[in-house]
């Protein structure tokens, strides 16, 4: 990520062709051009769920603070263990939150609860289920434990002075718990990314308006709303903007003055009124691409300025599936980087394709599929019927996107393919 101009970046690509741009090149240009927001705010850890950590968190304490027992059982000196059966005399009890403070000598043990501090000198715990008691004595089943068993070491989770969380982490439930385990109530996070978006097209109607002949309801604004909200962006929904040069220019300028990034849909394909692109180009440094992919060939990307403010602009195609695919495979990672997140590429899983898939080499195809477990126990994928870029149902029925890379041709039934699952665990 640098402050280089878009033309500097593309001039470094020996084979840059905006009319036949491979997916990976487009992703690379975007990655190199965008810059993250700098501002930081300090917020309570509960409010920080889903936010991006702005600074490394150094652990102020050892977690756990003391060696402690991992089991309910009896603590003793591991050096006392002899081959065969072992017997110890019980001299006291250690509870979680109430340590045993006396000395423990050779041949002695202390009954101990999970999480209780290990008594001085003790380094081994035999679980309850491996002993027999007789009066104040216990005997241990031969071979049940070796020295050091069932003891959690001081600092084994987190060490005082060491980095516990790295800046750039997206804070998930485990991160909140870990911060709490360090006694940290507030964390520095990057400010939320502001993203403005609108739909373009004279044929579009907003919800509540009558659907006259030839018009369609604006669905892209709802999918974009959903995708941005899931990413954790602050959104500015600017509605539908008609295919009118003055209105488009005003909308782009206003978006630019109020947001870090702008997402538009429609108007960037060949058939659309050319002035959408002209206006975008007039307001800043824009690239207009035909990407080697399906769906979603046309896309505009760059940065526009107005009244001293600038914003990154993603001009996504209009077709409802194309807008989602281009968002997920281009805008998503870019927005995460803008949010300051150390976003790794989406993991791809390999599964078996149940049916043959027709595929042209030389472009990346994103088909919608359903991954399920076959009777043989293996994971498999089946496409969701018609794959047209206007068929949004294919996205609602799918649980994954099948990514067929540039080089691959037709897929035979039983071949393995790569998929991106919709659902993650956290």
- Assess contact for 231 and 295: CB atoms under 8 A: no
**From residue 181 to residue 200, what is the string marking binding to ligand AMP with x (rule CB under 6 A)?**
------------------x-
Instruction: Give the nearest distance from C-beta 331 to Mg ion in angstroms.
Output: 19
Return the residue matching tokens 């850890």.
45
Write down the least CB distance from residue 255 to Mg ion, Å: 18
Round to whole Å and give the CA distance between 5 and 11: 10
Distance, CA of 387 to CA of 295 (rounded, Å): 9
Q: Sign of torsion, CA 30 36 37 43? A: positive
Distance CA 137, CA 109 (A): 9
Smallest distance, ligand AMP to C-beta of residue 232, A: 23
* Smallest distance, ligand AMP to C-beta of residue 203, A: 5
Closer CB to ligand AMP, 58 or 216, in the complex = 216
Token code pair at residue 152: 């959690």
Smallest gap, in angstroms, from Cβ of residue 400 to ligand AMP?
23
Binder of residue 159, out of ligand AMP, Mg ion, none (CB less than 5 to 8 A by kind)? none
Site string for ligand AMP, 215-234 (x = CB under 6 A): -x-xxxx-------------
- CA angle, 187 then 193 then 199, to 5°: 155
Applying CB under 6 A, the span of 231-239, 302-310, 314-322, 354-362 interacting with ligand AMP comes to 314-322
Among 320, 367, 371, 381, binds ligand AMP (CB under 6 A): 320
Can you read off the two tokens belonging to residue 381? 């994928």
CA 138 to chain centre: 51
Q: Does 86 bind ligand AMP (CB under 6 A)?
A: no
How far is CA 210 from each of CA 202, 204, 216, 219, rounded to the nearest angstrom? 14, 11, 10, 15
- Identity of the residue, 267 or 302, whose beta carbon is nearer to Mg ion in the bound complex: 267
Per CB under 5 A, the list member of 201, 295, 302, 315 interacting with Mg ion is: 201
By CB under 6 A, name the one of 26, 204, 227, 335 that touches ligand AMP: 204
Q: Which of residues 270-299 bind ligand AMP (CB under 6 A)?
A: 271-272
| Residues in contact with Mg ion, shown as a per-residue x/- string from 304 to 323 under the rule CB under 5 A | --------------x-----
SS3 387: coil
Whole-number Å distance between alpha carbons of 115 and 72? 9
Choose among ligand AMP, Mg ion, none what residue 199 binds, the Cβ cut-off being 5 to 8 Å by kind: ligand AMP
Residues with Cβ within 8 Å of residue 11, at least 6 apart in sequence: none
Residues 283 and 300: their CA atoms lie apart, in Å, by: 13
What is the C-alpha to C-alpha distance for residues 15 and 22, in angstroms, rounded to an integer?
10
Measure CA 124 to chain center: 40
CB of 294 to ligand AMP, least distance (A): 14
Verify binding: residue 310, ligand AMP, rule CB under 6 A.
no
Q: What is the DSSP letter of 266?
A: S
- Residue 36 tokens, joined: 């993250």
DSSP state of 53: B
Q: Which residue is nearest to ligand AMP (CB)?
A: 318
Tokens of 52: 């991006």
Question: Does residue 266 bind Mg ion (CB under 5 A)?
Answer: yes
The DSSP annotation for 90-110 comes to EEEEEBTTB---S---TTEEE
| Smallest separation (angstroms) from ligand AMP to the CB of 352 | 33
Q: Which does 317 bind (CB under 5 to 8 A by kind): Mg ion, ligand AMP, none?
A: ligand AMP
Phi, psi of 26 (to 5 degrees): -60, -45
| Residue labelled with tokens 């487009």 | 26
Segment interacting with ligand AMP, rule: CB under 6 A, options 70-78, 158-166, 214-222, 371-379: 214-222
Report the 10 Å Cβ neighbour count for 218. Answer: 22
Question: Using the rule CB under 6 A, which residue among 119, 201, 284, 369 binds ligand AMP?
Answer: 201
Contact pattern from residue 242 through residue 271 relative to ligand AMP, giving x for each residue in contact according to CB under 6 A and a dash for the rest: -----------------------xxx-x-x
Minimum CB–partner distance for residue 230 and ligand AMP (Å) = 19
Per CB under 6 A, residues contacting ligand AMP are 199, 201, 203-204, 216, 218-221, 265-267, 269, 271-272, 317-320
Q: Which residues are at the interface with Mg ion (CB under 5 A)?
A: 201, 266-267, 272, 318
């Amino acid at each position: 990520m640098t402050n280089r101009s878009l033309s500097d970046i593309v001039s470094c690509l020996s084979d840059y062709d905006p009319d036949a741009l491979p997916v990976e090149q487009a992703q690379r240009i975007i990655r190199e051009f965008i810059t993250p927001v700098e501002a930081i705010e300090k917020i309570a850890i509960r409010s920080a769920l889903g936010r991006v950590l702005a600074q490394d968190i150094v652990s102020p304490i050892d977690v756990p603070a003391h060696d402690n027992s991992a089991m309910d059982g009896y603590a003793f000196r591991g050096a006392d263990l002899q081959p065969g059966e072992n017997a110890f005399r019980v001299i006291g009890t250690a509870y979680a939150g109430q340590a045993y403070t006396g000395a423990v000598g050779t041949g002695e043990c202390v009954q101990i609860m999970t999480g209780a501090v290990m008594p001085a000198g003790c380094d081994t715990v035999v679980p309850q289920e491996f002993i027999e008691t007789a009066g104040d004595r216990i005997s241990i089943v031969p071979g049940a434990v070796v020295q050091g068993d069932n003891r959690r070491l001081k600092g084994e989770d987190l060490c005082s002075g060491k980095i516990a969380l790295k800046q750039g982490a997206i804070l998930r439930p485990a991160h909140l718990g870990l911060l709490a385990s360090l006694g940290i109530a507030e964390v520095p996070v990057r400010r939320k990314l502001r993203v403005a978006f609108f739909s373009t097209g004279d044929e579009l109607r907003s919800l509540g308006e009558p659907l006259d002949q030839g018009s369609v309801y604006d669905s892209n604004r709802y999918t974009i709303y959903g995708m941005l909200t899931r990413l954790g962006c602050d959104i500015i929904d600017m509605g539908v903007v008609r295919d009118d040069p003055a209105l488009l220019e005003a909308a782009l300028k206003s978006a630019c003055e109020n947001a870090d990034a702008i997402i538009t849909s429609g108007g960037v394909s060949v058939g659309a009124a050319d002035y959408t692109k002209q206006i975008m180009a007039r307001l800043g440094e824009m690239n207009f691409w035909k990407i080697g992919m399906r769906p979603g060939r046309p896309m505009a990307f760059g940065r526009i300025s107005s009244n001293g403010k600038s914003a990154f602009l993603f001009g996504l195609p209009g077709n409802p599936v194309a807008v989602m695919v281009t968002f997920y495979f281009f805008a998503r990672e870019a927005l995460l980087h803008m949010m300051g997140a150390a976003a790794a590429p989406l993991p791809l899983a390999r599964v078996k394709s149940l049916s043959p898939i027709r595929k042209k080499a030389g472009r990346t195809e994103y088909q919608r599929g359903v991954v399920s477990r076959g009777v043989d126990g293996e994971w498999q994928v089946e496409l969701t019927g018609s794959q047209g870029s206007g068929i949004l149902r294919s996205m609602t029925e799918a649980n994954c996107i099948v990514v067929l890379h540039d080089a691959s041709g037709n897929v035979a039934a039983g071949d393995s393919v790569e998929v991106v699952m919709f659902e993650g665990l956290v």
